Structure 1
Amino acid sequence: MSGLGSRYWGEVIEVLRYIIPVYDKVNRVISLGKDEEYRLRGIRGRVSAGNIVLDAGSGYGNMSRVALAEAGGDAKIVMYDPIPEMLANVKNYLPDSQAALSSGVFEYMPFRDGTFDAVLCGYSLRDAIQLPQAIAEMHRVLKAGGRLVIVDLGKPDSPVARAFVSAYLKYFLGVFAYFAAGKAGLKFKTLYGTYLRWPKNSELDSMLKEKFSRVQFDKGMMGGAVIIAAYK
């Protein structure tokens, strides 16, 4: 399967809307404290001063915050998310941000061809309705030489590693999330459903190479995390 499909996507969006107040806290715990490190690994050297950057699936701006720091504060950021309530929280997390805010889905982006120097997807691309179409749209809105940076769950190709990652997401993630955020944390168990619909690492690599001229594919946590840069 290449994407969540419209019906399951709607369920996931409702869960994300519900967990807005605890999202950061739980994400830090269930990533075993690696979420910020992986964002930085993806963005470092791929966002520069003066860049125009699209934070796709921005939430309230974690990737934008790292990108702005990497650019020394000199970057034009557009934060794009399907959940208006997420964007409404930007001012609480990035109070000095001058980012433009826009709401919509990956598959139909309201931006002209070749607009952005970089498109960032931090823990968001797995929530695409139709993954190939989402990738095609991100390619379309990038300038020639632009970079798509993806930080997300990985699905290992090795059956043994995949079994470990699957077991963690299915059985242990909910426990950690509950201890981090109480009852609201249990909603994070939906993440396992998105993982089941997510392609294996080699399949995702191949999908990106169908559109992009060069793909750098790095892994962490036994392949259960991916840090990717795809160049137009």
Structure 2
Amino acid sequence: MKDIGLGNLYWKEVIKVLRNIIPVYDKVNSAISLGKDNQFRKEGIRKSVFPGDHVLDAGSGYGNMSKLVLDFVSENVTINFYDPIPEMLGKIKNKFKNYNNSYFLCSGIFEKIPYRSNTFDAVLCGYSIRDSIALNDSFAEIHRVLKKNGRLLIVDLGKPDNFLARYLVSFYLKYFLVIMAFLAAGREGLPFRTLYGTFLRWPRNKELNDLLLKKFSKVEFNKKLLGGAIIVIAYK
């Protein structure tokens, strides 16, 4: 199977951009998703995370996915925040100081997750797994650390199978995204143009579904915005 993912060189470029846009990340992400980012996160979380779960927030940033878990599911969860950018993790303590749940911090990449097999009830990837160096390896590692019947939640951009829909989404990400990012955050938002490059390297929705089915027993694939946004739950 061909390699799918950013590859080492482009991954380093994307990580550099993400590190530089920390101050405006939430503002711009909301703008370019047309205000739907948290709506999609909540929809997926409510179907994949339950009270008492041990959760891996993979590519956590500073915890947007997990904050919604605590707000809309339960504080009775244990969360491991996992991200390749330590500066992102550095904001966790202040953001979660008013919650009563247990949490842990760890920095690393999807392809080498430093946890034992069969550890987590749910792995959350909110706008993050698309930035894998090698997607096949990432899914293999996530599958390994999930418990039996555990769930992988992916909330991310989708790449429509239909040519016209794919063209429209691609056109938006290539041209309008930069305008939206600039209007939301000025020049600080312009580096978000890198997102288009990650979209080009992202598999089409059917390819992603088939790739997940090679590892997981069942996949629920929900498409939004003409297939340009996806909420996916894959079961071990």
Q: Give the TM-score category using the shorter length.
A: over 0.9
Tell me the residue number matched to 1:49: 51
Instruction: Please tell me the residue identity of whatever aligns with 2:107.
Output: S
**Is it true that 1:178 corresponds to 2:182 in the alignment?**
yes
Tell me the residue number matched to 1:38: 40
Partner SS, residue 45 of structure 1: helix
CA pair 31-65 structure 1, distance change in 2 beyond 3 A: same
Tell me the residue number matched to 1:17: 19
**Is it true that 1:206 corresponds to 2:210 in the alignment?**
yes
Structure 1: tracts of 5 or more residues without a match: none
Equivalences for residues 66-215 of structure 1 within 5 A: 66-97=68-99, 98-215=102-219
Aligned-pair Cα RMSD in Å: 0.9
**Is it true that 1:28 corresponds to 2:30 in the alignment?**
yes
TM-fit CA distance, 1:76 = 0.2
- Separation in 2 of the partners of 1:50 and 1:119? 14
Q: State the number of aligned residues.
A: 232
Instruction: Please tell me the residue identity of whatever aligns with 1:44.
Output: R
> Which stretch shifts more, 55-64 or 45-54?
45-54
- Separation in 2 of the partners of 1:146 and 1:109? 16
- Separation in 2 of the partners of 1:145 and 1:70? 22
- Separation in 1 of the partners of 2:174 and 2:212? 27
Partner SS, residue 78 of structure 1: strand
TM-fit CA distance, 1:33 = 0.3
What CA deviation, in whole Å up to 9, does each residue of 1:177-204 have, x standing for no partner? 0010011100000000000000000000
The question of whether the paired residues in 2 share the 8 Å contact of 1:48 and 1:70 is answered with: no
Tell me the residue number matched to 1:65: 67
Instruction: Please tell me the residue identity of whatever aligns with 2:189.
Output: G
Percent identity, please: 59
> Which stretch shifts more, 116-125 or 90-99?
90-99
TM-fit CA distance, 1:150 = 0.2
TM-fit CA distance, 1:175 = 0.5
What CA deviation, in whole Å up to 9, does each residue of 1:55-92 have, x standing for no partner? 00000001111122343210000000000000001133
* TM-score scaled by length of structure 1: 0.98
Structure 2: tracts of 5 or more residues without a match: none
Instruction: Please tell me the residue identity of whatever aligns with 2:93.
Output: K
The question of whether the paired residues in 1 share the 8 Å contact of 2:46 and 2:73 is answered with: no
The runs of at least 4 aligned residues of structure 1 exceeding 3 Å deviation read none
